[in-house]
Structure 1
Amino acid sequence: MTNFEIKLLSLHEVSLWSRADGRHDNWPVVYTLDDGERIYIGESANAVTRMRQHLESEKKRELRSVRVVVGETFNKSACLDLESMLIRLAAAEGRFKVLNRNAGMSEADYYNRQLYQQIFEDIFQALKVEHGLFAKEIDEIKNLSTYKLSPFIPLVEDQCLVMSEMIHALLQKAQYRQSLTAVLLGEPGSGKTVLAIYLMKLLADVQRSGSTSDLDLQSPFGELFVDDIRYLLRSWKVRLVVPQQSLRASIKKVFQRTDGLDATWVMSPFEVGASEDFFDLLIVDETHRLSRRANQASAELNRKFAAITSKLCPDKDFEAVTQLDWIKKKSNHQILMIDPMQSVRPADLPFELQMDVVAEAKKAGTFFHLSSQMRVRAGKDYVGYVRAILSDDEPPSRLHFPDYEFRLFWEFEAMRDAIRAQDSKYGLSRLLAGFAWPWRSKKDKTAYDIVIDGCALRWNTMPTDWIESPNSVNEVGSVHTVQGYDLNYAGVIIGADLYYDENKKRIEVDRQNYFDRKGKEGNKAQGWNVSDEDLRSYVLNIYSILLTRGVIGTYLYVVDDAMRRYISRFADA
């Protein structure tokens, strides 16, 4: 479609280069500046003027190596798209520390975009092979958690609108010295975690910005980079709270390699509660996974829960305190990312409390909703379809998703082999299961946990970064290792913890075949137990989460015969 060239220059040679061709100072281009460790990626219709601006920047004048990409049919939209693609790939691969802001990262369609994107892959290959800016292939980088959790993910229109409204509400409250508790509700794959990470980077960039010369003020959040807002936020302590250990570790890795962010800014609820600092803003991802007073994972955490609660909430009923109370005591403003349908344990925030939080935000005008589906190619209808299958209100008929593979297997070995085949083809394809098997291999490394029709497998051997670990394709992950993550293909095993009662025409839970001890443990001090109906809700939520991890497709095997027959009415075989 278009020819392109990549010219390697020094920063001071750009003006000489521009005289050779009029397009060089009056044509849309994409360029990179690097010093071997740091990189800045930009676009401009006037490369010479832009380079002069960079020479005036203390940070960028040290980036001596310049590469300018010129295409015969480049236009502004295409250059913005290429710039965005290269920024995200470079940040995810991690060979360079990317110096860009993310204020201009938004998703926009334009004429012949698909054709341009084919050329972009050729440009990437040239930058990789001939210029050494990349080491991995595009598909390898796209399968990294650092790509999927990147602060440089372009926001779609729905996300931009929600982000803009949320920031406006926050700044308005801050200007009048009032507190804000905002709630962002979103289904699996709607982009809650991505929005939280994006917001952390955006606010950090605003805080340390000194000039708008590097920013297109017409970009979605360009209006934030003004003196009044910079002054308002200048000393703010903003932190991201992530309850799950695995997801928290992955986000820390992203922050560690992102300019302007710090891995210590990603905190557990316990770290927030124990901190001596008071925070201006706490953004809480997966708020539904915050804990209430319950038996924690270890005796040490039980002691910490008691100590923090006594310190922060001395006047409140000790047994009624939750980690959400800690969050509110430790911050002036809170943004809570939430989905009550993703609670998976009795220790999670009670459903009623979550609904109260949502209701209060709606009353205060600080409730926001993400409706887009950013993960599953089948679109947002798929999430509702899966939830309906696992509910008492089953779908009236089978739905088909042309761009998505939702397939039921009658033999487990065939599904295992299919997942391995998809992993060889696309990467990032994993087996997942509910807690229908005890974790024997935790103590006996030679033992197998899950044995189905002669196929023997172990639970995940890595508590963090399991998805990217070398042997994960031969293991089985749980909700605790995949909640918040994307897979290309998910092979979900519904175990004997669920069965279908054909007389009642209802999915039931089998408590004896559910082996997450914390998943069915009550609190005697508070006087509550986990009923079979409670446990059923948690188990159904777990499987709903597992069935919405796959971007390209979801495979399914069901242990219970009647349950398999029921599912076969709604999934292709």
Structure 2
Amino acid sequence: MNFTRDRLQNNQTGVFTIFGDAGTGKSVILSHLFAKIQLLARTDNTSALYRTQNYFLVNHPEVLKVYKAIAGSNTILLKKDYQRPTTFINQLDKHNQAADIVLIDEAHLLLSKSDHYNNFYFHNQLQEIIKRSKVVILVFDQTQVLRMKSYWTNERLNALLTPYPHENYVLKKQFRMSAGPELLDWINQLTLRRTVTELTPEMLNNYDFRIYDDAEEMRKAIVMRNQQVGLSRILSTSGYPSTLDGGKHYICEGKFKMPWDQYNYTETPWAEIPATIDEVGSIYTCQGFDLNYAGIIIGPPIYLRDAKHGRLDVDLTKHTDVEAFKKRDDLTDPAMIESVEKKMIMNSLNVLLKRGVYGTYLYVHDPQLRRLLLKQFEKITQK
């Protein structure tokens, strides 16, 4: 708030970035901050924020539904305050307007190249938002970058922000998952360093973490949890047939057979629709959301390359999300592209593994990796 007031009073463009891992409360902070800003803007004629024109942006249709629902039950917040970035840019240009304060949730999902399919004809959404605003406050996590058209790193973000007065803050405490630091570190080693470290009994303290040899048994357990506490769903990485053609495409693992999530035309987020207990969610329907229990399928692209040292690798030929890896003019080195694509697949697993508040159940397609994890899990649960 101090940063915002200073920028407005000095009529100086500024950017404030909040960094934090999945589940560290970035969206909660941003949501409360926006409510405070709009209260001052619409009711306090003694405030420097009075009558400022402010917006909350998120490039995720499912998350946007949540914010609009919150606005519908709040007398200060309006549904029109919450927009997709492209809508915001195009509407301001159409009416020759500018914004005062803009908050951006999930800024790692902003487009960093033109995307004519989504009516974005510039080169970088964040850059265009800053041009049209006085103060920009955003939350960012480079380990949640999932698509080439939204390719970001901390270095790329810093290079874009260098011309502007800017400040940063890093959130470190995990609020979503009730798991301890030992299990969170195990997840980070698995997804960010592609290394399976030893499971220990401490990782199961106050958190329901399980490894399954049978995906169907895992499904039954998640259904039971959903009946008990609600908001429990099956999620999966890529590697199974998936095409946006309106038809159902199934994930099959032994006796397990369930369709991918369908496009959600309702105003209710996917995870809150009761019928989606019979679907498999993807990163596109669960990113940014809390689940009480998450059953995760690690699909065919991720496999155990080196059993002795627990090293994982990614087989890009088994990746089935064709929209994720569209070419970019600024990435031409084949080795670099391969490295980025593999990192994005592991990022998607990182996103999935940090959804469950009370528990995470895991099934792995690759037999070698599944055996290794089961051996470790049985070792600590049979004591």
TM-score when scaled to structure 1? 0.60
Which residue number in structure 2 is paired with residue 262 of structure 1?
78
Contact 1:490 1:555 in 2 (8 A): yes
Give the greater-gyration-radius structure (CA): 1
Closer/same/farther in 2, CA of residues 300 and 397 from structure 1, 3 Å limit: closer
Give me the whole-angstrom Cα distance separating, in 2, the residues matched to 1:429 and 1:396: 27
Contact 2:142 2:154 in 1 (8 A): no
Instruction: Decide which of 217, 220, 226 is 1:423's aligned counterpart.
Output: 226
Q: Following TM superposition, by how much is the alpha carbon of 1:462 offset from its aligned partner in structure 2, in angstroms?
A: 3.8
Contact 1:407 1:554 in 2 (8 A): yes
Give me the whole-angstrom Cα distance separating, in 1, the residues matched to 2:257 and 2:73: 39
Listed as ranges, the gaps of 5+ residues in structure 2 are none
SS at match of 1:233: coil
The answer to whether residue 66 in structure 2 is matched with residue 247 in structure 1 is: no
Instruction: Decide which of 7, 13, 17 is 1:183's aligned counterpart.
Output: 17
Instruction: Decide which of 258, 271, 275 is 1:457's aligned counterpart.
Output: 258
Q: Following TM superposition, by how much is the alpha carbon of 1:533 offset from its aligned partner in structure 2, in angstroms?
A: 1.9
Give me the whole-angstrom Cα distance separating, in 2, the residues matched to 1:177 and 1:448: 53
Contact 1:495 1:558 in 2 (8 A): yes
Q: Following TM superposition, by how much is the alpha carbon of 1:449 offset from its aligned partner in structure 2, in angstroms?
A: 1.4
SS at match of 1:539: helix
Contact 1:406 1:571 in 2 (8 A): no
Instruction: Decide which of 172, 178, 183 is 1:371's aligned counterpart.
Output: 172
Give me the whole-angstrom Cα distance separating, in 1, the residues matched to 2:104 and 2:29: 11
The answer to whether residue 148 in structure 2 is matched with residue 342 in structure 1 is: no
- 1:513-532 matches, within 5 Å, as 513-524=318-329, 527=332, 531-532=337-338
Q: Following TM superposition, by how much is the alpha carbon of 1:264 offset from its aligned partner in structure 2, in angstroms?
A: 1.0
Which residue number in structure 2 is paired with residue 174 of structure 1?
8
Which residue number in structure 1 is paired with residue 33 of structure 2?
199
Instruction: Decide which of 490, 503, 506 is 2:311's aligned counterpart.
Output: 506
Which residue number in structure 1 is paired with residue 299 of structure 2?
495
Give me the whole-angstrom Cα distance separating, in 1, the residues matched to 2:374 and 2:190: 11
Give me the whole-angstrom Cα distance separating, in 2, the residues matched to 1:457 and 1:290: 31
- 1:226-241 matches, within 5 Å, as 228=46, 230=47, 232-241=48-57
Contact 2:18 2:140 in 1 (8 A): yes
Q: Following TM superposition, by how much is the alpha carbon of 1:194 offset from its aligned partner in structure 2, in angstroms?
A: 1.2
Contact 1:180 1:332 in 2 (8 A): yes
Give me the whole-angstrom Cα distance separating, in 2, the residues matched to 1:237 and 1:197: 17
- 1:39-438 matches, within 5 Å, as 167-209=1-43, 228=46, 230=47, 232-276=48-92, 277-293=97-113, 296=115, 300-301=117-118, 304-306=119-121, 309=122, 321-351=123-153, 353-356=155-158, 360=162, 366-379=167-180, 381-390=182-191, 391-392=193-194, 394-395=196-197, 398=200, 399-438=202-241
Q: Following TM superposition, by how much is the alpha carbon of 1:521 offset from its aligned partner in structure 2, in angstroms?
A: 2.2
Closer/same/farther in 2, CA of residues 545 and 570 from structure 1, 3 Å limit: farther
Contact 1:272 1:330 in 2 (8 A): no
Q: Give the counterpart letter for 1:456 in structure 2.
A: K
Give me the whole-angstrom Cα distance separating, in 2, the residues matched to 1:183 and 1:200: 15
Instruction: Decide which of 282, 292, 295 is 1:478's aligned counterpart.
Output: 282
Q: Following TM superposition, by how much is the alpha carbon of 1:355 offset from its aligned partner in structure 2, in angstroms?
A: 4.8
Give me the whole-angstrom Cα distance separating, in 1, the residues matched to 2:20 and 2:260: 29
Give me the whole-angstrom Cα distance separating, in 1, the residues matched to 2:166 and 2:84: 28
The answer to whether residue 371 in structure 2 is matched with residue 556 in structure 1 is: no
Which residue number in structure 2 is paired with residue 89 of structure 1?
none
Contact 2:23 2:177 in 1 (8 A): yes
Listed one character per residue, the Cα deviations across residues 516-558 of structure 1 (whole Å, up to 9, x for unaligned) are 1122221258646673322110010000110000000000000
Contact 2:104 2:137 in 1 (8 A): yes
The answer to whether residue 370 in structure 2 is matched with residue 567 in structure 1 is: no
Listed one character per residue, the Cα deviations across residues 491-517 of structure 1 (whole Å, up to 9, x for unaligned) are 000010111112674211112211111
Instruction: Decide which of 340, 346, 370 is 1:534's aligned counterpart.
Output: 340
Listed one character per residue, the Cα deviations across residues 143-199 of structure 1 (whole Å, up to 9, x for unaligned) are xxxxxxxxxxxxxxxxxxxxxxxx112212222222221110011111111111111
Contact 1:497 1:514 in 2 (8 A): yes
Contact 1:358 1:367 in 2 (8 A): no
Q: Following TM superposition, by how much is the alpha carbon of 1:481 offset from its aligned partner in structure 2, in angstroms?
A: 0.3
Which residue number in structure 1 is paired with residue 351 of structure 2?
545
Listed one character per residue, the Cα deviations across residues 111-159 of structure 1 (whole Å, up to 9, x for unaligned) are xxxxxxxxxxxxxxxxxxxxxxxxxxxxxxxxxxxxxxxxxxxxxxxxx
Give me the whole-angstrom Cα distance separating, in 2, the residues matched to 1:505 and 1:403: 26
Q: Give the counterpart letter for 1:250 in structure 2.
A: V
Contact 1:183 1:358 in 2 (8 A): no
Q: Following TM superposition, by how much is the alpha carbon of 1:423 offset from its aligned partner in structure 2, in angstroms?
A: 0.4
The more displaced of 529-538 and 423-432 is 529-538
Q: Following TM superposition, by how much is the alpha carbon of 1:571 offset from its aligned partner in structure 2, in angstroms?
A: 4.6
The more displaced of 248-257 and 488-497 is 248-257
